Amino acid sequence: MIFSREYIGYLARRTVKHLIDAKLITTSDLKGTEARVTAGLTDELALEDRINEEVRVILEAYSDEMRKSGAQYAEMFKKVKTELAKKYKAVL
């Protein structure tokens, strides 16, 4: 994952504080709200890790063909990742 769990928790706390200060949300359970936002952020950030792993598996299956055609791994990784992000409707 790109960020540490501690930093994700920090982002969640700051996000909740900002939303409350802007009067966009109200909550009687601040810790619970922060926990739910932390979980949501963690799930979203973990999605990129899962997509990256799926791209690696796909490219491994086509490694011989890529070598024969002279395709660059980094370029193919980017293309496949973009397609999977569209498939999963993820913003990376």
Instruction: Give 44's pLDDT tier (boundaries 50, 70, 90).
Output: confident
74 pLDDT exceeds 80?
Answer: yes
Q: What is the DSSP string of the chain?
A: --S-HHHHHHHHHHHHHHHHHTTS---S-HHHHHHHHHHHHHHHHHHHHHHHHHHHHHHHHTHHHHHHHT--HHHHHHHHHHHHHHHTT---
Residue-wise pLDDT tens digits, 21-41: 999 999 999 999 999 999 999
pLDDT score of 5 more than 90:
yes
> For residue 84, is pLDDT > 90?
yes
Domain ranges of the chain: 5-87
State yes or no: pLDDT of 92 exceeds 80: no
